[in-house]
Amino acid sequence: MRIEFVASDRTAAPTGGAVAVMAFEGGKLSAAAEDMDKATAGAVTRAIAASNRFNGKAGQTVELVAPGGVDVQRLVIVGSGPQDSLNGEAAETFAAQAYAAVKTSGVETLSILLPGAGAELAAHAALGVVLAAYRFDKYRTTEKAEKKPSVTTVAIAVDDVAAAEAAYAPLKALGEAVYFSRDLVSEPPNVLYPAEYARRVKALESLGLEVEILGEAEMAKLGMGSLLGVGQGSRRDSQLVVIQWKGGGDSQPVAFVGKGVTFDTGGISIKPADGMEDMKWDMGGSAAVAGLMHVLAARKAKVNAVGVLGLVENMPDGNAQRPGDVVTSMSGQTIEVINTDAEGRLVLADALWYTQDRFKPKFMVDLATLTGAIIISLGNDFAGLFSNNDELADNLLAASKATGEPLWRMPVPAIYDKHIDSAIADMKNVGNGRAGGSITAALFLQRFVNGLPWAHLDIASTAWKKPSTVPTIPDGAVGFGVRLLNRMVADKYEG
């Protein structure tokens, strides 16, 4: 799909295809909607009145087919909430809903009219369309034409085309990075296993990133018994991928670590068959880190950043890790494995220790589809934020609010730390029963950060949406974390 910015012309309506305009809460029309109302001899106001319940609230739409007075096939009026609350997120939602209304209608062009809205809002509208238009259809061979999106071009009409194009450039890079992350999460596990995943990330060197791939022999030399134990039941070798972006001169790097379990059967503590196919997205945390590094490089961010991906496949063959095994992590701490389905924290234990030991970063943020308990705690729309540092947590929460990727801060109480003490090793990999499961998982990870400022994002609740209720997120992979981490870096850590 092609995105283009065109000059607004309030004296002449667009021709052909579909046109989208805004209406605000209380039924107030945008300037473009007023122009279309005049051109159609009041058809816009009549349609709104006839719809009875349309009052301009966000998410409401009214559609006119072949309205008189203009040469367009469809006219879509999209509610955008209070006019004084029109910001980037609202513009993204408006454009995404406009696209959704006509994407399979047969029209090939969609004109989004935003005279007077400003370059930033126009750029965010473009991003909204891009995010809404994502499809993972590379394995579909018999889909009927009428089910495929027909829109091939979206033209966004603005007052200052050059300013809109400049504002869109970093957002275009962000959209491409989110697509990269979503593609990784969407791939089937027979296609995307650790070595193939590592190869795809290695290809990002074309953007200026430096990518190293550590195999099992190299990790064994480093003492990564915790990570390697998870993958020992798989025929696919585990990998540690280290990504560096050096855009900040001699400054101390910031670091991001991702759980990348390309498929999780649960191992010997095997999962139920129902829904196990979804465990291809148990690498969503690593995909977010890969997407973040993608956008930092693409927009030439003025920061030094490190991304570390722990990539494994958790399978239950005759060599698989057993409940009751004791492994030694890179930190030297020993871990009693009580449940082989609590594997993500074992991967992250070594990845976190390696990251802080080698790079000495300002902070570490890890992302992981870590616990089902976070879904019980927060539902399907908020990810859990755990941190040992208030400043870092506040920066993440601010970026979360700015990008619409919701976080909720959770406690890491010391009194719960004893729940992961083991009778025979330094710790065990689960707490005492189901209570506080996402908290005890975070406390486990905290034992491997060596006192460094750290935050853990448990994104098991937000990495995959089916069904999705967010206009910019089609059903399936979300790419959750790419936008909020990119925003946090841009706002707080670029030189």
N residues, the chain = 495
Question: Is 360 marked active-site?
Answer: no
Question: Is 10 marked active-site?
Answer: no
Q: What six digits make up the tokens of 37?
A: 């109302």
Q: Where are the alpha helices (DSSP H) in 307-456?
A: 344-359, 373-378, 390-403, 437-446
Tell me how far the alpha carbon of residue 143 is from its chain's centroid: 27
Rg of the chain over Cα atoms, rounded to whole angstroms, equals 24
Query: Which is the catalytic residue, given 271, 302, 401, 492?
Result: 271
Q: Distances in Å between the alpha carbon of 353 and those of 1, 45, 217, 247, 405?
A: 43, 62, 18, 24, 27
Query: Which is the catalytic residue, given 74, 103, 259, 345?
Result: 345
Rounded Cα distance, 276 and 263, in Å: 9
Spatial contact of 140 and 182, defined as CB atoms under 8 Å apart: no
Give the pairing of strands 239-246 and 210-214: antiparallel
Rounded Cα distance, 128 and 483, in Å: 12
Rounded Cα distance, 439 and 85, in Å: 36
Q: What is the DSSP letter of 336?
A: E
Give the pairing of strands 18-24 and 28-29: antiparallel
Give the pairing of strands 109-113 and 74-79: unpaired
Burial of 162 (0-12, 13-18, 19+ CB in 10 A): exposed
Helix (H, G, I), strand (E, B) or coil at 191: coil
Kindly list the catalytic residues. 271, 345
